Structure 1
Amino acid sequence: MKALVLEQKDELSLRDFPAIDHAEQTLGPRDVRIKLHTVGICGSDVHYYTHGRIGPFVVEAPMILGHEASGTVIEVGDEVATLAVGDRVCMEPGIPDPNSRATRLGMYNVDPAVRFWATPPVHGILRPTCVHPEAFTFRLPDTVSFAEAAMVEPLAVGVHAATKARVKPGDVGVVLGAGPIGLVTALSALAAGCARVYVTDIAEPKLEIAAALSPAIVPVRAEGDALVSRVHADTDGWGADVVFEATGSPGAAAGVFAPLAPGGCVVMIGGQPEPISYDAGAAMVREARVENIFRYAHAFPRCVAMLGSGAIDVKPLITRTFGFDESVEAFEIAASAPPSDVKMQIELPQ
């Protein structure tokens, strides 16, 4: 089975990977076998490629990349009841221990034993087929394309963030960062009820994409106090009800309370490579609530439903598509962070 393999930091190859062939010979009674169609390139995939690690997760052996995926069911286990051969699906990439305390409490995303695609030492799915549990595989409505379905995984982050923020109808939101996660967070905040969402970034092309997503999105270039001034001017000096930090930048994270209204909520989304500092005094005088998210939980069915109904449209975020044989080139381009690109995807042969 040919796969996109991260051999080590800065080295990718498209080659046969016999270990995966052997591991997937057996289909469990509640598993399905899926022929992959579309796989998105995530920032974490690129980070493993360029740095060889994310925090405590270190690439110590060749690893297949990719975890944002859609495909078609080609085989089902004997006890599978909700899926059939031929179903078009997307897959939640993190599989927890069903007996762990975190899972039993409904917080399966923070289960220390979770096995997440393309997080060392677990292989990802930039390969022709995979075996996956029925419980974490979701049938697609006819109105949702494979490309849109491969966006469910990043969209789930935004939906989880909006859920943790407890967005109310009419809220004013701020999203720091107009990358893929920032933009799906802005869309999720609007779907949850925000009347207006300000989106900041240093890249003008990304702000143009953000502005085109909805008339309720206000792009603001991340320069000096431009964001705080704009938000305060538009809210009679009150501020935003919720601020989402989606840059992973220590500088941005340090200023999360500046545009926040009293009693507002900050949601930390962006992964920080090192410990960060923020103004605890600014949080205190606002009685600010701070939420942190780690991936998502219980979000995939909601995302699929919203894509199916048209409540959220992710198509404008898909800015470039590559063939499977172009996977190495695709990652090289993604690593260069072109300012006009949001989400790059790879299509596998059908």
Structure 2
Amino acid sequence: MDALVLEKKGELSLRDVALDETLGPRDVRIKLHTVGICGSDVHYYTHGGVGPFVVNAPMVLGHEASGTVIEVGSEVTTLAEGDRVCMEPGVPDPNSRATRLGKYNVDPAVRFWATPPVHGILRPTCVHPEAFTFKLPDNVSFAEAAMVEPLAVGIHAATKARVAPGDIGVVLGAGPIGLVTALSALAAGCAKVFVTDLSERKLEIAASLSQAIVPVPAKSGALKDRVMAETDGWGADVLFEASGAPAAAAGVFEPLAPGGCVVMIGGQAEPVAYDAGAAMVREARVENVFRYAHVFPRCVSMLSSGAIDVKPLITRTFGFDESVRAFEIAAEAPPADVKMQIELPQ
């Protein structure tokens, strides 16, 4: 089948790939409809790897997806041919200790789409377990459904933060993950979320999402001063580091209230500075996010109910035959774009 293949660092091709996927009794075969371009996909393209995951052989990209079930295994009971679905891209070992403890996202044996050596799903069809495939309500589009994967990171982060009604939140970084995290924090109960970024255009997009989102330019002292001014000098209850920038990560405790929580989301290629003293005097709680677990059905429900609206984040859509060009554009990081998606032929 034709697929978007990362041949090696900096080289993409749209070509035929032999992928032998046998349908197991508890699997479904899915015709892909929409696939989002994730920052990790772009990083594999531009750098040839993400942290310890290095592309040593041609790999199909893509892991944010929606589609339609076209075949079901003999023991599948919750899905049928014709069902519109989105798919959780990481499949753990069901017998691993992490999975048995309910922490399947940190299972070392998890097989995650477009993470070497596992192929992604920028291709016409795929086979996936029923347990990690979720039926869509009629009012959730394929494009919105392909946003469930990044949204799941934000919902997982808000869950880890234990957001309480009326909390004041801060999000560092207004990229796709930062923005879905801001929306997730609001949906979880935050009264206000300050979002900071270097890009003025990204901050404009953030501000357009909700009156409860306060954009703050990322310049020295601006965020802390703004948060303290609007909280009577107390600080933010929860802070989400979603930029992946070492300088941002080094200052996570500055706008944090005593007893507040920091959630580290953005991936860091190298160790970052950590102000242990600032954390200590606040008795800060620090959480870390690695993908997500147990949140896909919650995300689908919130999209369906209108509790979260991701449509404004989808800023550009390409045809499958434009996939290579789409990645070239994504690698340039246009400031007016948040999430780019690719639609496959139907």
Equivalent residues in 2 for 1:215-230, closer than 5 Å: 215-230=211-226
Query: Residue 147 in 1 paired to residue 143 in 2?
Result: yes
Q: Distance in 1 between matches of 2:208 and 2:274?
A: 32
Superposed CA deviations along residues 55-103 of structure 1, whole A, max 9, x for unmatched, are: 1111000000000000000000000000000000000000000000000
Q: Distance in 1 between matches of 2:139 and 2:192?
A: 27
Q: 1:341 is paired with a residue of what secondary structure?
A: coil
Q: Distance in 1 between matches of 2:223 and 2:50?
A: 30
Gaps of at least 5 residues in structure 1 are none
| Aligned match of 1:6 | 6
Query: Residue 231 in 1 paired to residue 227 in 2?
Result: yes
Q: Distance in 2 between matches of 1:211 and 1:149?
A: 23
Q: 2:140 is paired with a residue of what secondary structure?
A: coil
Q: Distance in 2 between matches of 1:308 and 1:135?
A: 20
Shift of 1:31: 0.2
The two structures, once aligned, show a CA RMSD in angstroms of 0.4
Residue type matched to 1:235 in 2?
T
Q: Distance in 1 between matches of 2:273 and 2:225?
A: 23
Shift of 1:161: 0.2
| Aligned match of 1:244 | 240
| Aligned match of 1:345 | 341
Residue type matched to 1:15 in 2?
R
Q: Distance in 2 between matches of 1:153 and 1:55?
A: 20
Q: Distance in 2 between matches of 1:344 and 1:50?
A: 17
Query: Residue 307 in 1 paired to residue 296 in 2?
Result: no
Q: Distance in 1 between matches of 2:290 and 2:23?
A: 30
Superposed CA deviations along residues 267-305 of structure 1, whole A, max 9, x for unmatched, are: 000000011112110000000000001000001000000
Q: 2:280 is paired with a residue of what secondary structure?
A: helix
Shift of 1:251: 0.3
| Aligned match of 1:182 | 178
Query: Residue 255 in 1 paired to residue 274 in 2?
Result: no
| Aligned match of 1:34 | 30
Q: Distance in 1 between matches of 2:38 and 2:12?
A: 15
Residue type matched to 1:11 in 2?
E
Residue type matched to 1:325 in 2?
D
Equivalent residues in 2 for 1:114-153, closer than 5 Å: 114-153=110-149
Q: Distance in 2 between matches of 1:183 and 1:16?
A: 36
Residue type matched to 1:41 in 2?
I
| Aligned match of 2:317 | 321
| Aligned match of 2:281 | 285
Shift of 1:172: 0.1
Q: Distance in 2 between matches of 1:212 and 1:106?
A: 37
| Aligned match of 1:211 | 207
Question: Percent of pairs identical after alignment?
Answer: 85
Superposed CA deviations along residues 10-67 of structure 1, whole A, max 9, x for unmatched, are: 000000001x1xx21x210000000000000000000000000111111000000000
Residue type matched to 2:317 in 1?
T
Q: 2:171 is paired with a residue of what secondary structure?
A: strand
Q: Distance in 2 between matches of 1:66 and 1:27?
A: 21
Q: Distance in 1 between matches of 2:51 and 2:184?
A: 27
Gaps of at least 5 residues in structure 2 are none
Equivalent residues in 2 for 1:52-67, closer than 5 Å: 52-67=48-63
Superposed CA deviations along residues 128-172 of structure 1, whole A, max 9, x for unmatched, are: 000000000000000100000000000000000000000000000
Residues matched between the structures, number: 346
